[in-house]
Amino acid sequence: MTLLELVLSMVMITIIFAAILPEFSAISHNWDSKQGSAEALQNGRVLMDHISRNLSRAKRITSVSASTVTNGYIQFVDYNDFNDRYDVAASDKYVEYGVVGSLSDLAGPVNSFKFTCYDANITLLSSVTDTNLIRLLKVDATIDNSASNGQDKAFTTWVYLRTGANASPTISITQPTDGNSSFTAPASITINTTVSDIDGTVSKVYFYQGATLLGTDTISPYNYTWSSVAAGSYSLTAKATDNDGAVTTSNTVNITVKSSANLRAQYEAADTSNSTQGIKPFFKIFNDGATTIALTDITFRYWFTSEATGSDVFACDSTQLGAGTVTGAFAGTGTHRYLQVGFTASANLPTWDGGTGTANTLPAGTNTDQIQTRITDSSWSWYNQTNDYSFDATKTAFANWTKVTVYYKSALVWGTEPP
């Protein structure tokens, strides 16, 4: 073979390969596309069959994404009373399924996974989001085609809840009313409720004070009596559970139980100057009730603004209750700084002041007699009394004063704290 013949042969071979290689490439791409389509079809069929079988037997839907959410979710109570969930994993875009808190990949990847829900009328005119109303679901999913030139596959399935979604019970506290403060310790408070369940029965009602369970009732009209309630502020709620396990929490009712103690404070400003190195508030605490009160159950507060450069120091200069039986402690900051005065168990009101002579007693109709206190700064800096909440320069003799607050067993029973 001559050189010319060899060159011509190579040219012919090149032309032939140039003509048939695109055909091979097209065949390869077509095969990849078909294989990707087959995988997408299989994934879609598995996903839709799985969803249809599980959701059709759901006892109730507990949460579902809006129909506008591209990669949505649905959570439901299955026929075994497990809380199940379908969701889209952010990491690989696979639809995952399982008991809430333990999901695993099911099918995918997807580029959309959407839920549209309808009520029992099934008019299909508008979707609903209230899980108590859902009876029919439309599930749309688009499965990715693994081939670079393949088309994604869209799937739709409709699921009717054969058991029907469970409507949650309704509950409200009718008594006591919110803001009620007509109770006096030790109080007996009956909590009345109105409860109903449109598609079943109410199994039990739980009664709470804050997060503390007070008690339960399983018989209509679902009431509870809370006994021996101490003075204080309380927040009441009730929870109703129906025969399918749905739970509804009632409105919150805030109440105040007043102390049975009838106490008041009188105050005298022993130092009326605007600036002083020693604030000198004098006090008398009166027991206007009908029973003897333990002095250790009583505290009262003098509110002031501390300008101290060192630290505030308390002293009791004079009291009829006995040396060392009056205590003082400081708390709060800024305009809410206060001196809290209390009594030890040794405090004893003498008989000549109307007391019994027995330690730790303040008989009905008596008072502590004057308690002369003093507030100083450890570095002897000056106080400005004009901005002190409890200070009143006109009180040069003992008089009732509501800006000195009195507490019985830590509950406010006299006066008004600063705003």
In the chain, domain spans: 35-160, 170-258, 263-414
For residues 36 and 38, give the distance between their C-alpha atoms in angstroms, rounded to a whole number. 5
Over range 147-172, report the average pLDDT.
Answer: 78
Give the mean pLDDT of the chain. 88
Above 80 in pLDDT, residue 99?
A: yes
Better-scored residue on pLDDT, 146 or 19: 146
Better-scored residue on pLDDT, 211 or 57: 211
pLDDT of residue 267: 98
Confidence of residue 180 (pLDDT cuts 50, 70, 90): confident
Confidence of residue 166 (pLDDT cuts 50, 70, 90): low
pLDDT of residue 149: 63
Over range 290-319, report the average pLDDT.
Answer: 93
pLDDT of residue 26: 46
Q: Which CATH class is domain 170-258?
A: mainly beta
Token couple for 116: 């549209």
Better-scored residue on pLDDT, 126 or 365: 365
- 3-class SS of residue 43: helix
Over range 142-166, report the average pLDDT.
Answer: 77
18-22, 57-61, 79-83, 255-259: range with lowest mean pLDDT: 18-22
At which residue do the structure tokens 């004893």 appear? Answer: 348
pLDDT of residue 289: 87
Better-scored residue on pLDDT, 231 or 320: 320
pLDDT of residue 2: 66
Above 90 in pLDDT, residue 119?
A: no
Which three-class secondary structure string do you get for 373-408? EEEEECCCCCEEHHHCCCCCCCCCCCEECCCEEEEE
For residues 112 and 88, give the distance between their C-alpha atoms in angstroms, rounded to a whole number. 9
Two domains, one topology: 170-258 and 263-414: yes
The answer to whether the CB of 381 falls within 8 A of the CB of 309 is yes
Q: Which of 351, 358, 350 is nearest to 293 (CA)?
A: 358
Better-scored residue on pLDDT, 346 or 409: 346
Over range 114-140, report the average pLDDT.
Answer: 82
Confidence of residue 121 (pLDDT cuts 50, 70, 90): low
- CA–CA distances in Å: residue 341 to residues 276, 359, 401, 404: 21, 18, 16, 11
Percent of the chain with pLDDT over 70: 88
Above 80 in pLDDT, residue 268?
A: yes
Better-scored residue on pLDDT, 41 or 315: 315
Q: For the domain 263-414, what is the CATH code?
A: 2.60.40.710
The answer to whether the CB of 404 falls within 8 A of the CB of 412 is no
Token couple for 311: 């630290």
Over range 292-312, report the average pLDDT.
Answer: 93
Q: Which of 396, 362, 392, 184 is nearest to 285 (CA)?
A: 362
Confidence of residue 130 (pLDDT cuts 50, 70, 90): confident
pLDDT of residue 29: 47
Q: Which residues pair with 191 in a beta bridge?
A: 224
**Measured CA angle at 176 (ends 167, 236), to 5 deg:** 65
For residues 43 and 40, give the distance between their C-alpha atoms in angstroms, rounded to a whole number. 5
Over range 137-153, report the average pLDDT.
Answer: 81
Above 90 in pLDDT, residue 400?
A: yes
Above 70 in pLDDT, residue 312?
A: yes
Better-scored residue on pLDDT, 250 or 135: 250
pLDDT of residue 285: 98
pLDDT of residue 24: 46
Better-scored residue on pLDDT, 290 or 276: 276
- CA–CA distances in Å: residue 165 to residues 68, 123, 126, 171: 22, 17, 18, 19
Confidence of residue 148 (pLDDT cuts 50, 70, 90): low
